[in-house]
Amino acid sequence: MFKKILIANRGEIAVRIIRACKELGIKSVAIYSDIDAKSLHTRLADEAIPLKGNTATETYLNFEKIIDAAKKTKCEAIHPGYGFLSENPDFIKFVNDSGLKFIGPSEKSVRLMGNKVAARKLMIKHNVPVVPGSTEPISDQNALVEFAEMIGFPVLIKAAAGGGGKGMRIVNSKDELIKNFELAQSEAEKSFKDKSVFIEKFISNPKHIEVQIIADESGNYRHLFERECSLQRRYQKIIEEAPSISINDKQREKLLNAAINAAKACNYYNAGTVEFLFDGNDFYFLEMNTRVQVEHPVTEMITGIDIVKEQIKIASGEKISFDQNDVKIFGHAIEARIYAENPFENFIPSYGKIKEFRQPGGFGIRFESGIDRYSEVPIYYDPILAKLIAWGRNREEARIRLINALKEIIISGVVTNIPFNLILLKHEDFKENRFDTQYINRLQNLIEEHYMSEEENLHLKELSEILVILPKENSRDGIRNSEKIKSKWIERRFRNDH
C-alpha cells in the first residue's frame, strides 16, 4: 500500500480523496493555487504545496509543477480526481514516466476511449450496441449531407475528442446541417485542439443511464449496478440517482453485461463509468468516463462499497476486494449538485467569500463539500461547491430527505442553484419519473409555471440580483434590511432554502 499520495485537484473531490486516504492510513498532499491557499482541502491534507498562479493552466493543469510537488514531498502516487487532468493520456504517461503511479486507468485505455470515433468502432467490434452513425470522422460537406440523409434527421454532430457537450450540435434538417457542422468543428478545435467530428442519429428524449465499473490490473471486472442521470442542463448533470427506476430486471442484466464488455474491450482497469442512452426499449453506448464520476456517492450509498478506496488499493497492486455476488442494491440514493451560479440569470457563475455556512445532517444524509465558512469561491474554476446525497429505503423516502436537507443548507456570500434543485425534486414529473435528458431544456419556464406565482418569482429574482451585486456583504442581513425586499414569503424561503 502507498504511504503518501498527492491529490492533483481541488474542492470537494480533493476533500473526498483526502478522507479516503485517512481511512487507509495514507498521508495526503494537497496542491493549491494562490487563491486556494486557505481552501478546505489544503487544511485537511497532511501537507499542502503551493502552485504559483491562479488560472488552471498555471496550476492544476501544469504537469511540471504537479510532478515537482509530488517528488518534493516524496509521494508515490497521484490521484487526479475528476476534471482537470483526470482523462488526459499525456498526463498519465508523464506521471508514470516520472516513476510515480497514476491512480486510474492506463494511458492506452484513456486515449482509446477518449476518441469517440475509435470508441464507437471498438464497441461495434465487441457487440456493444451503439447509436447508428459514422465510424470515421467526417470532414467533407458532401459526405456529411449524404450520410445525414441516409440515417435520417434529426442528427447529432459530435466532437471526436470531446465531452461535456462541447462540439456537439443537434441538427433537425438539411438546411441547418452545414452551419452547425462548421460551428461544431470550430468549437471542437478550440476546446480539444482537434476539429474532427462525427455524426450519429439523434435519439429524441432518451434516458441517460450509466454503469459503474471497477476492474483491477489482474483482469478482474465488477459492476456496481447503474445510475440514472437524465436530469441535465446543457449536457451537464444536475440530479443523479441509483438505481434507475426506468428499467426492469431483464433490461438491467443486458445493460450490466454490455458495460462489462465495453470495459473489457479496452483492457480497462481501476474505476470507470460506461454511459448509455435508453429509448425505453434499447440501450446505446454513449461514451466511457475513464475516471471517478462526480456522482459516484449514490452508488456507494446503495452498495456500501467505497469506490475511491478501491481505486487506491487497486493502483497499489491489490485485487478487487469483493466478489460480484457480494454486490447488492440496498435502498435508493439521490444526489443534488450544488453550484455557485444564479439559476434566475441563465445560471451565471457566482463568486465571492463565504460569509455564513451551515451544512445539513440527519439519517441517510451525506454532504460532500469543498467549502466552509472560511472559504472563497474563485472565478477561475468549475463552480461546483458541494454534493448533497440522501439515502432512503425507497426512492420517495430518499427524495423527501434530500428536499429537507437542501432546505437546511445556508451558504451566503454567493448565489447557489439550491432553489432550482428544489423545484426539480418537488415537481410531479420527477416523482412520477416523467423526465428525460431534454426535460430541463423543454421547460425553460419551469420556475414560474410550477413553483411560485409571478409576484413571488419577482421577489426571488430581486433576491438573486442583490446577492450578485453585493457578494462581499453579509447577504442575509443585507436582504433583511433592504427596502427592496419586503415580502414575508421571501424571508421564509431564504431562511428555509438557503
pLDDT on residue 195: 86
**pLDDT score, position 472:** 36
Least confident of 182-186, 199-203, 422-426, 455-459: 455-459
Q: Using alpha carbons, select from 114, 11, 98, 107 the residue that is nearest to residue 60.
A: 11
Half-sphere exposure of 143 (CA within 13 A, CB side): 11
User: Cell numbers of 73, please?
Assistant: 514531498
Domain 132-201, second-level architecture:
2-Layer Sandwich (3.30)
Q: What is the pLDDT of residue 17?
A: 98
State the pLDDT at residue 450: 46
Residue 455: pLDDT band by 50, 70, 90 thresholds? very low
134-150 confidence digits (pLDDT tens): 888 888 898 899 999 99
Band (64; pLDDT cuts 50, 70, 90): very high
Rounded to an integer, the average pLDDT of 82-110 is 98
As a whole number, the mean pLDDT across the chain is: 89
Q: Tell me which CATH code domain 4-103 carries.
A: 3.40.50.20
The one catalytic residue among 10, 291, 399, 493: 291
The per-residue pLDDT for range 376-394, each reduced to its tens digit, is 999 999 999 999 999 999 9
Whole-angstrom Cα distance, residue 373 to residue 413? 10
- Look at the block and give the residue holding cell 448565489: 415
Q: For residue 331, what are the CA distances in angstroms to 182, 190, 383, 391, 435?
A: 47, 43, 30, 7, 21
113 within 8 A of 290, measured Cβ to Cβ: yes
Residues 6+ apart with CB under 8 A from 343: 417, 419, 420, 447, 464
What one-character DSSP code corresponds to residue 35? T
b vs e for 436-465, b when ≥16 Cβ sit within 10 Å of the residue's Cβ? bbebbeebeebbeeebbeeebbebbebbbe
Q: What pLDDT does 344 receive?
A: 81
Select the more confidently predicted residue: 371 or 496: 371
Please confirm whether the linkage preceding 50 is cis (ω < 30° from 0): no
Let me know the angle formed at the C-alpha of 213 by 211 and 219, rounded to the nearest 5 degrees: 145
The pLDDT score that the predictor gives to residue 408 is: 97
Q: What is the pLDDT of residues 240-260, one digit of tens each?
A: 999 999 999 999 999 999 999
Q: Which one has a higher pLDDT value, 451 or 131?
A: 131
The pLDDT tens digits of the residues spanning 160-196 come to 876 666 778 999 999 999 999 999 998 888 878 788 8
pLDDT at 489: 33
SS3 state of residue 65 = helix
Rounded to whole angstroms, the Cα distance separating 120 from 99 reads: 33
Phi/psi of residue 94, each to 5°? Answer: -60, -45
Q: How far apart are CA 427 and CA 35, in angstroms?
A: 38
Of 16-25, 148-157, 489-498, the range with the lowest mean pLDDT is 489-498
Q: Whole-model pTM? A: 0.86
Tell how strand 27-32 and strand 47-50 pair up: parallel
In the chain, % of residues over pLDDT 90: 77
Helix or strand holding residue 207 (H, E): strand 207-215
- Domain ranges (residues) in the chain: 4-103, 132-201, 207-442
221 contact partners, CB below 8 Å, separation of at least 6: 213, 214, 215, 260, 263, 264
At residue 281's C-alpha, the angle toward residues 267 and 259, to 5°, is: 10
Q: Is the model more confident about 495 or about 171? A: 171
Phi-psi category of 105—alpha, beta or left, where left has phi over 0 and alpha has psi -120 to 50? beta
CATH number of the structural domain 207-442: 3.30.470.20
* Nearest to 214, CA basis, from 80, 311, 102, 109: 311
Residue 22 burial (CB count, 10 A): 14
**Residue 291 is a catalytic residue:** yes
Q: What is the pLDDT of residue 297?
A: 98
Which tens digit of pLDDT belongs to each residue from 303-350? 999 999 999 999 999 999 999 999 999 999 999 999 999 988 888 999
Please answer whether residues 220 and 238 qualify as being in contact, where contact means their C-beta atoms are separated by less than 8 angstroms. Answer: no
> How large is the C-alpha radius of gyration of the chain?
23
pLDDT of amino acid 357: 96
Tens digit of each residue's pLDDT (9 = 90 or more) over 263-288: 999 999 999 999 999 999 999 999 99
User: Does residue 331 contact residue 450 with C-beta atoms inside 8 Å?
Assistant: no
Q: Give the number of residues written for the chain.
A: 498
Q: Per-residue pLDDT tens for 409-432? A: 999 999 999 999 999 999 999 999
**Residues 189, 72: Cα–Cα separation, whole Å:** 36
CA distance 463 to 350: 14
